[in-house]
Amino acid sequence: MKKEWLIESRHSRTYTAMLMLVPFLLLTAVIMRDILMASLSVFFILFVFVNRWYLRYVTSRLTIPYEHQTIRLFPGEEGHVTIPFTNQSRLPVINGTWGCHLYDHESALGKNTDDPSSYQKSLSIPPGTSRRFSVPVQAVKRGTVQVRSLEAVIYDPFRLSFVKMQYHGSFRGDVVVYPDPAALSQLKTLHLQEKGQHVQPFSLFEDVTMPRGTRPYQSKDPFNRLNWKATARTGEIQTNVYENVTLSKWTMVINVRSDETVSSTIPDLETVLSQACFAVRYAVRHQIRFDLYVNVRIPGSDNGLYLAADEGKQHGMRALEIFARLRHGQLTISEDRLLQRILSSRSEPPKAILHFGTYGYMERFYYGKAGKLGTQAILIPSEGGDADVLAT
């Protein structure tokens, strides 16, 4: 089993001098038969022993419980990463410090100090107590940040010696900064509706498991919709009325492959992801079901990154976290392979495709074929402007 802490003991010069003085005092006390000097020698021995025992005891019972902590922010928001410490001993941890390093490769967090990635704070924990220590963070731009190099330094009560502890346990802390949403005013026109579970007053579809009430019978009403109890109660033939329901569904396609040889990903990746971020938030707010395709290479798959169709806040958070973790220069797959998977490996073609990023011959070819099957493909231009309906 892997140890939680890698421990290294260190001593001050005073402590080292005291250790060297003990044999001399003992030898002098024996030769001179001096009880006072002998007592002083015993005191130093006990002092050293108690200090060592204290450090060994409290450090062996200081733990960081397993936890996978993820802080999710948009640019401009602030939050806190909290590190949980538990003192399982019967003695307090005093005169201690703890620190951590935030690995921020994309500079996603703000820089408020000379060394914003490293933090050093005091550590004092009563016996048998758990405490959480926080690190303030401020999101600046899209990216991910990891908590690394957790360390603790525990001193003896007189600060003559200390133990440096490097954490090697399973605690994990992440800060995920989503893209800054870029408004797309044209999305409100893309509600392609089919039968679903969401109540809509003007839908063409009804759910017979969701009765809304009754109304007077009309000649076009089917026989199985008659409500005989309401008919007997009112003395007039009554027909059941059901809730109107719809389901809007989008397929989001993000092509990050660059035509240039300098980089494998497009130079305006941030703009494209900001647009996709807005579309995801819009879909969550309006209960639109969506799936997501991104043509980046992932381990164990040759077909790119795929997020299965779903809806709701949790689904939206998963999509936004994917956007936060995409990298400039990431390996990509060809547009042909991605689009073939979207349009050829499904039981039925998607109703609406929102295309973000690079657009070229392959997209025109596949979306043209999809348009003949009833798919509406909409290009979201990264340079702004109105969405372009490519196929209907």
By C-alpha distance, which of 147, 43, 57 is closest to 98?
147
Query: What would the pLDDT profile of 338-347 be if each residue is shown by its tens digit?
Result: 998 888 766 6
By C-alpha distance, which of 266, 227, 231, 250 is closest to 358?
266
Predicted pLDDT at 204: 36
- DSSP per position, 121-134: EEEEE-TTEEEEEE
- Identify the DSSP state of 301: B
The model carries a pTM of 0.78
Q: Tell me which CATH homologous superfamily contains domain 185-192+247-391.
A: von Willebrand factor, type A domain (3.40.50.410)
Secondary structure class of 51 (helix, strand, coil): helix
For residues 106 and 115, what is the distance between their CA atoms, to the nearest angstrom?
Answer: 15
By C-alpha distance, which of 158, 152, 167, 154 is closest to 57?
154
pLDDT: which is higher, 211 or 152: 152
Cite the beta strand spans of 156-274 per DSSP E.
161-167, 172-177, 193-199, 205-216, 238-255
pLDDT > 70: percent of the chain? 83
What mean pLDDT do residues 196-216 have?
55
Are 91 and 57 contacting, i.e. CB atoms less than 8 angstroms apart?
yes
Are 350 and 253 contacting, i.e. CB atoms less than 8 angstroms apart?
no
* 28-37, 99-108, 269-278, 331-340: segment of lowest average pLDDT: 28-37
- What CATH class has 62-177? mainly beta
Q: Which amino acid is at 103?
A: Y
The residues near 53 (Cβ < 8 Å, ≥ 6 apart) are none
**Which DSSP helix (H) or strand (E) runs through 368?**
helix 361-371
The Cβ of residue 178 has, within 10 Å, a number of other Cβ atoms equal to 24
**Which DSSP helix (H) or strand (E) runs through 371?**
helix 361-371
Instruction: For the chain, give every domain's residue range.
Output: 8-59, 62-177, 185-192+247-391
* 20-24, 229-233, 296-300: segment of lowest average pLDDT: 20-24
Burial 144-160, CB ≥16 within 10 A → b, else e: bbebeebbbbbbbeeeb
- Identify the DSSP state of 223: G
**Greatest extent of the chain over all pairs of C-alpha atoms, in Å:** 124
Task: Reply yes or no on whether the pLDDT at 197 is more than 90.
Answer: no
What mean pLDDT do residues 101-113 have?
78
The pLDDT-based confidence of 202 (bands split at 50, 70, 90) is: very low
Query: What would the pLDDT profile of 39-72 be if each residue is shown by its tens digit?
Result: 777 777 788 888 889 999 999 999 999 999 999 9
Are 66 and 169 contacting, i.e. CB atoms less than 8 angstroms apart?
yes
For residues 339 and 367, what is the distance between their CA atoms, to the nearest angstrom?
Answer: 9
Structure tokens at 69: 């902590």
pLDDT > 90: percent of the chain? 40
What mean pLDDT do residues 359-380 have?
88
What mean pLDDT do residues 79-89 have?
94
Structure tokens at 34: 């001096």
For residues 322 and 306, what is the distance between their CA atoms, to the nearest angstrom?
Answer: 10
Are 267 and 258 contacting, i.e. CB atoms less than 8 angstroms apart?
yes
Task: Evaluate whether 62-177 and 185-192+247-391 have a shared fold.
Answer: no
Nearest 10 degrees: CA dihedral of 373, 362, 323, 147? 140
Using a 10 angstrom Cβ sphere, with 0-12 exposed, 13-18 middle and 19 or more buried, the burial of residue 285 is exposed
For residues 197 and 378, what is the distance between their CA atoms, to the nearest angstrom?
Answer: 25
What's the mean pLDDT when you consider all of the chain? 83
For residues 349 and 371, what is the distance between their CA atoms, to the nearest angstrom?
Answer: 10
The residues near 143 (Cβ < 8 Å, ≥ 6 apart) are 104, 105, 106, 107, 108, 177, 324
For residues 44 and 161, what is the distance between their CA atoms, to the nearest angstrom?
Answer: 14
Query: What would the pLDDT profile of 142-180 be if each residue is shown by its tens digit?
Result: 999 999 889 999 998 888 889 999 999 999 999 999 999
